[in-house]
Amino acid sequence: MKSVRWLIAAWRGRRRLAVFLVVFSILNALLAVSYPIFMRAVIDAIKNKAGMEVVSRNVLILLCIGVANFFVYASMQGTRAWTNLVFERDFRQRIFEHLIRLGRGFFQRFRTGDIVTRLTDDLGTDMKLSWFACSGIFRTIEALCMIVFGLIAMVRLNPVLTLYAAGPLPILVIIFMWTASAVEARYERLQKRISDVNAHMESCFSGIRVVKAYRREGGQQQGFHDVMTRRKTAEIDAVKVGTIIQAMYGYIWQFGVVIVLLVGGKMVMEGKLTIGTLAAFDAYVMMLVFPMYDIGTFFVRGKSAGVSIRRLTDMEDVQPEITEMDQETCGRPCVPPAGLRNSLRFENVSLCFVPGGQRVLDNVSFEVRPGEIVALVGRVASGKSSVVNMIPRLIDPTDGRICLDGVPTKELCLENFRKLVGYVPQEALLFSDTIENNIRFHRDWIAREDIEQAAEVSRLVEEVESFPNGFQTKIGQRGVTISGGQKQRIALARALCGKPRILILDDCTASLDSQTETALWEGLKKVFPSCATIVISHRPATLERANLILVLERGKIVERGTHQELVRQKGVYHTLYELGKLQDEVGVGWKE
Ligand SMILES: Nc1ncnc2c1ncn2[C@@H]1O[C@H](COP(=O)(O)OP(=O)(O)OP(=O)(O)O)[C@@H](O)[C@H]1O
Ligand SMILES: [Mg+2]
């Protein structure tokens, strides 16, 4: 039922198109059904030697019907093919727009390869969902019109012979009853296997450097061979059942031809039927073979379309975790943030990823003011990234709140609020595009000078100028042709060119040398003096500059203060700082 509602929704707003296709299906069937009537007249006229005038008149009519039928069929078929493509684009666009709004939870649940399969293969026009949504439905309507009009014409010619001809019909109904669930199960399995293949390719190619470093090409080949073999088996299974059912619908109906020839031939010999009527009857039964085949196709493809709709609605039903408050939920319209005037405050913030599970953050409170630097330090998995990810609302706190100038960020207009935040994630991600486009990142309002300034502060300009096409140099997928440090600085420039009021740096200074790091902080202070910075770092040069340092352990702030204060305490921070210094000297990470 859900699948039917989904398909009806697809036709909402396309009523005229649907009416056109129905009218042309009826017209096409009427023209096709009228053909044997005039053929019968020609044969009987020849048999009765009624004269060439009668024969030629009927042949001319047949010719006109043929030409008219061609135009009607061509327009109907062309419109169906066009609509399939429009559906394919619209469905993909709609679902893509939905998916892009979803949070991290969704992308952890669904593998990328699976999402891609659902958006491409399930939604295709090659006998898949987009084909079914138009051609599948309207070919069946065309087939039903042919069958109904054909049977009416046959009954009018000879009701008894019609009964004989329609003998295989009950067999077809029984076949459908038996096979419906088998078809559905096989198509469901097939789509899952296709998802597995795409997921395997996605993970192999996106992690190609690790595969090569560990020389696991053989393992990947074997894995690919396995998923492809499983896909092939599922495909053969589904195609076998589908083809048998479709063919049975066509061929079993052809028994009708044999019956008509036997029973009708006898009637002709007994003088109860003219030879022209028998020929017309035979033509009708033959004419209905393809519509019968189409009905079989409808059953098979309808089942596979139902599977695909279910796979798509699984994704469409997921709601974004981060939502903008509307007037109803927060009692007033969401506030357009004016900037950062006083502070960004964490007020007793706690976080659980799993409802009722262990707290990843526990009662975290601090504030950062314009121009200040707050540094977060702590061991692996202590919750540092989780704290900063909550600022641009990539995750929302389970308890407590985060306020910008006293207003909870949940009540702020999300798009405008995010424009205030510059975010450099722990793992810099670049796209296969030019360096400039990677920095601008689809924000057309950012001026070229701002990009240059951001690149200057990120200590990127000299290196970029040494590239063959400067800022227009294309970088490979995920930036494979540039170094880790360059990658991080491009990500930094991306954050800075939006002139952020709140800057988040998640361990992004790790692969910078001390000199570049110091120059970066000097540049930031000069160009963005009123920017509030929250930085995760273990580098002494960064920590010494911070106005406030927070030490996290298992999600709790265990120490807080300035560098001098914390060093004097000789607690966790002191140990981490000493290790950081050691790392700077010998180049070994204390975190490991
Ligand atoms: N999306 C998630 N779902 C469930 N648990 C998560 C998720 N993200 C992080 N965690 C868990 O939360 C804890 C804190 O992770 P977080 O990434 O904040 O640590 P971190 O201090 O940034 O570590 P690192 O220094 O390695 O970057 C970890 O135990 C991690 O397993
Ligand atoms: Mg982290």
The residue written with tokens 């702030």 in the block is 557
Strands of 302-372, DSSP E:
344-351, 361-368
Between the CA atoms of 511, 512, 514 and 515, what dihedral angle is there, to the nearest 10 degrees? 160
Neighbours of ion ligand 2 (CB under 5 A): 385, 426
Span 254-283, average pLDDT = 89
C-alpha 406, offset from chain centre: 38
Span 376-382, average pLDDT = 93
Lowest mean pLDDT among 292-301, 354-363, 405-414, 535-544: 292-301
| Cβ neighbours, 10 Å, residue 173 | 9
In which band, very low, low, confident or very high, does the pLDDT at 108 lie, cut at 50, 70 and 90?
A: confident
Pocket test for ligand 1, best of 384, 395, 552, 583 (most atoms within 8 A of CB): 384
pLDDT above 60 for 518: yes
Question: Token digits for 557?
Answer: 């702030």
- Higher-scoring residue by pLDDT: 334, 265: 265
pLDDT above 60 for 592: no
pLDDT above 60 for 529: yes
List CB contacts of 37: < 8 A, sequence separation 6 or more: 153, 280
What is the CA(468)–ligand 2 centre distance, in A?
A: 34
The answer to whether the beta carbons of residues 132 and 302 sit under 8 Å apart is yes
Lowest mean pLDDT among 305-319, 520-534, 577-591: 577-591
In which band, very low, low, confident or very high, does the pLDDT at 135 lie, cut at 50, 70 and 90?
A: very high
Span 48-75, average pLDDT = 93
Take atom 26 of ligand 1 and give the residue whose Cα is closest.
380
Query: What does DSSP assign to residue 587?
Result: -
C-alpha–C-alpha distance, residues 400 and 135, integer Å: 54
C-alpha–C-alpha distance, residues 348 and 364, integer Å: 5
Q: What is the pLDDT of residue 588?
A: 47
pLDDT above 80 for 190: yes
Specify burial of residue 164 (Cβ count, 10 A radius: 0-12, 13-18, 19+). middle
Ligand located closest to 380 CA: 1
Condensed to tens digits (0 to 9), the pLDDT of residues 408-457 reads: 998 888 888 898 999 999 888 888 888 999 999 999 889 999 999 999 99
Which atom of ligand 1 is nearest to 354's Cα?
Answer: 4
In which band, very low, low, confident or very high, does the pLDDT at 270 lie, cut at 50, 70 and 90?
A: very high
CATH architecture assignment, domain 344-586: 3-Layer(aba) Sandwich (3.40)
Closest CA relative to residue 304, chosen from 195, 190, 187: 187
List CB contacts of 332: < 8 A, sequence separation 6 or more: 411
104 lines ligand 1 (CB under 6 A): yes
| Cβ neighbours, 10 Å, residue 313 | 15
Backbone CA torsion sign across 185, 92, 243, 163: positive
pLDDT above 50 for 395: yes
Q: What is the pLDDT of residue 255?
A: 80
Closest CA relative to residue 479, chosen from 490, 470, 468: 490
| pTM for this entry | 0.79
C-alpha–C-alpha distance, residues 219 and 81, integer Å: 43
The separation between the first and the last C-alpha atoms of the chain, rounded to the nearest angstrom, is 54
| Phi, psi angle pair for 364, to nearest 5° | -90, 125
Q: CATH homologous superfamily of domain 2-316?
A: ABC transporter type 1, transmembrane domain (1.20.1560.10)
Pocket test for ligand 1, best of 360, 362, 391, 394 (most atoms within 8 A of CB): 360
Lowest mean pLDDT among 157-161, 199-203, 253-257, 565-569: 253-257
Strands 407-408 and 399-404, how do they pair?
antiparallel
C-alpha–C-alpha distance, residues 260 and 254, integer Å: 10
The answer to whether the beta carbons of residues 538 and 512 sit under 8 Å apart is no
What is the CA(206)–ligand 1 centre distance, in A?
A: 22
The answer to whether the beta carbons of residues 336 and 404 sit under 8 Å apart is no
List CB contacts of 44: < 8 A, sequence separation 6 or more: 50, 274, 275, 276, 277
| Cβ neighbours, 10 Å, residue 165 | 27
List CB contacts of 410: < 8 A, sequence separation 6 or more: 325, 330, 393, 396, 401
Where do the domains of the chain lie? Answer: 2-316, 344-586
- Higher-scoring residue by pLDDT: 185, 75: 75
The answer to whether the beta carbons of residues 282 and 260 sit under 8 Å apart is yes
Closest CA relative to residue 52, chosen from 62, 39, 42, 61: 42
Q: What is the pLDDT of residue 352?
A: 93
Ligand located closest to 360 CA: 1
> How high does pLDDT run on average in the chain?
88
Question: 3-class SS at 75?
Answer: helix
In which band, very low, low, confident or very high, does the pLDDT at 591 lie, cut at 50, 70 and 90?
A: very low
Span 353-369, average pLDDT = 91
What is the CA(337)–ligand 1 centre distance, in A?
A: 29
Q: What is the pLDDT of residue 589?
A: 45
Question: 3-class SS at 419?
Answer: helix
Query: In CATH terms, are 2-316 and 344-586 the same topology?
Result: no
| Cβ neighbours, 10 Å, residue 118 | 23
C-alpha–C-alpha distance, residues 111 and 196, integer Å: 9
Q: What is the pLDDT of residue 12?
A: 93
What is the CA(465)–ligand 2 centre distance, in A?
A: 32
Condensed to tens digits (0 to 9), the pLDDT of residues 309-345 reads: 999 999 999 988 877 766 555 566 667 777 888 899 9
Q: What is the pLDDT of residue 213?
A: 85
Lowest mean pLDDT among 145-159, 309-323, 334-348, 471-485: 471-485
C-alpha–C-alpha distance, residues 419 and 581, integer Å: 35
Closest CA relative to residue 332, chosen from 410, 278, 265, 423: 410
How far lies 235's CA from each of 115, 232, 301, 471, in Å?
Answer: 20, 5, 14, 47
Alpha-helical (H) ranges within 260-403 are 265-269, 275-287, 289-316, 327-330, 384-389
